[in-house]
Structure 1
Amino acid sequence: MEKKYQVFVSSTYKDLTDERKEVIQALLELDCIPVGMEMFPAADDDQWTLIKNLINDCDYYVLIVGARYGSVDDEGMSYTQKEYEYAVQGKIPIISFLHKNPDEIPSGKTEQDPKAKERLKQFLAVVQNKMCRYWITPADLGSQVSRSLVKLIKTNPRPGWVKATDLPTEDAIREILDLKAKIERMKLEADASKSQGPEGTEDFSQGEDEVDFSFMYIGVEKSYPNTRYQYESEFSVTWNEIFAAISPLMIDEATDDSINSTLKSFIFKKEKDNISESLAKTNRKFAEIKANDTLQTIKVQFRALGLITESNRKRSIHDKDTYWQLTPYGDNVMTRLRAIKRV
């Protein structure tokens, strides 16, 4: 949508007529709307109210200072300074342009009153605390304003003005509002998905529910390690215990093999005493555990509970492994189970 920016041009008037023409031309070439009230007397409250309203409506404020302080109000403050301070108070982006060599300005365009000179000096000290540029000729000033305002618009974007014909129609506005509402619902659903499982999973075995799994362990003769014996066994465990054991593997992603390896280590630690006691009776020692069927059941259950999902990350066509990763909800559950609690 094409925008036009309204720019308030503040300066003394009679001494800067040529300079103002260059600035206004530069603003028009940038498709900006120049506004200025310094050519009016601004000697009463109604006029000052009008100036303030115009400044409020502007997107940017340009100050031009030569060697004159300008006409003053009852308190001795020039209207140029008054406008400047009002723009500062309103937090309107300001850029000031000061004459580089004020001593070289013809005497007819300079202050003659010592008090006005001192006030101008004080005003310049205030202005130079913010962003300002320096100019010598009217053409130089116009060029400075053009370049500086383009940069100011980029660094300080403002609402601007658009044609009524460019505004969205009532149907477009309604569609935008509907889309915003849809996005908000999706955000709420996404947040909810991090703290609870999918709808319908409340009837599934989960959490601290206990489940019995079968596994197989291999024993070998101590004197004949190539002779292997298989033993079937079962172990009882909660779903949370299993998930706490294998979930850190899937913070990024993990293959079936790596999950199976971690699961077997978990089973061995849990059943170590029973396995050792069983093998000791036959004078055999432990070799390995097989639990492929158990792994498949666990994957199906955790997938059904919305804790894990198959990774769809692109990889080499030669990579035939299946990869698994945590869902946002799974990551939340893992953190709750594995994070160290404050004592």
Structure 2
Amino acid sequence: MEKKYQIFISSTYEDLKEEREQAIKAVLEMGHIPVGMEMFSAADEEQWKLIARQIEATDYYIIIIGHRYGSETEDGISYTEKEYDYAVSCGVPTLGFVIDDEAPWPKTKIDSAARKKKKIESFKSKVKGKLVHFWSAKEDLHGKISISLIKAINTNPRVGWKRADVEIGADVVKELSRLSSENSTLRSEIAKLKAASEEAADEVRDVVNIMHSNRKILQIRKTSKWENAEKHKTQLLDIFLSIAPNLINENSSTEIANNIALSYVGTPYFKPWPIGRNIVSGLIADYVALDAIEPSKKKHSVHDKESYWSLTKLGKQVLKRARRIQLEEGLPTDDEENS
């Protein structure tokens, strides 16, 4: 009676979805049992314990690596690398499949951030410390995984699974394949929602970092004379936080200038332009470039010559995260400081 082996298939998800399908297909056609992280929610510690138990019960571990490092835990390690490290620590035989660096690959599926690139290259080096296979397209994986599994099973047989009474026949394998396909569809939908949430979180983090790293010097006048204007060294992020609350609905360019002045010098300040009109236009252009604000969609009188702006969906997320940090850490907000 042949054994059935549990095969854990690990990789980043969205960029290697089709490659995972090839791996699952190869495992099922060999009559074994594929298991993957997409069946669980690794964001929750209790769910990670469930994944860890599955890895502990796994006979062979397959890792497929492309050009993305993937979403990370609070410790800064990707869930994929965390799974791999745990499999190695448990003594589970690992089969590595790393994409050929010369293989054509969509730019949308390649990490562009330097930090991510460094981490994925380090992870590849770790996996290459053992015997690995290189692949160029999804079609390569089916055959290479099948051959590698056959060799691993012959050279390093594991405990596996056996029915106590009857052999697992072709009908059972077929039903297993059908159920796996059905479950895969549901898991795919869950993974899409999770990926969208993680992508949004990464985008907010990137925008916050860009704003924080851009230094600005503002000249703010309390009288009509620019030579008496006060200079304030600040960051694009701090300026954004001073104007964003009033952009949740909309605000004019003139009022944006006044909100900045109120935040930095309090009252009184010179109206209507305590900050140079060109400076305000430049700041607005920066925030538009970061997709944090956009022209207001509300209608105004044809006689109203003002320009109106409001927060984008991303801008609201940036404001939400910053305000929450201020509230959790008990830091004063601009409206509290100027009340």
TM-score, normalising length: structure 1 = 0.47
TM-score, with structure 2 as normaliser: 0.48
- Name the one with the larger helix percent: 2
Look at both structures and tell me which one has the larger radius of gyration over its CA atoms: 1
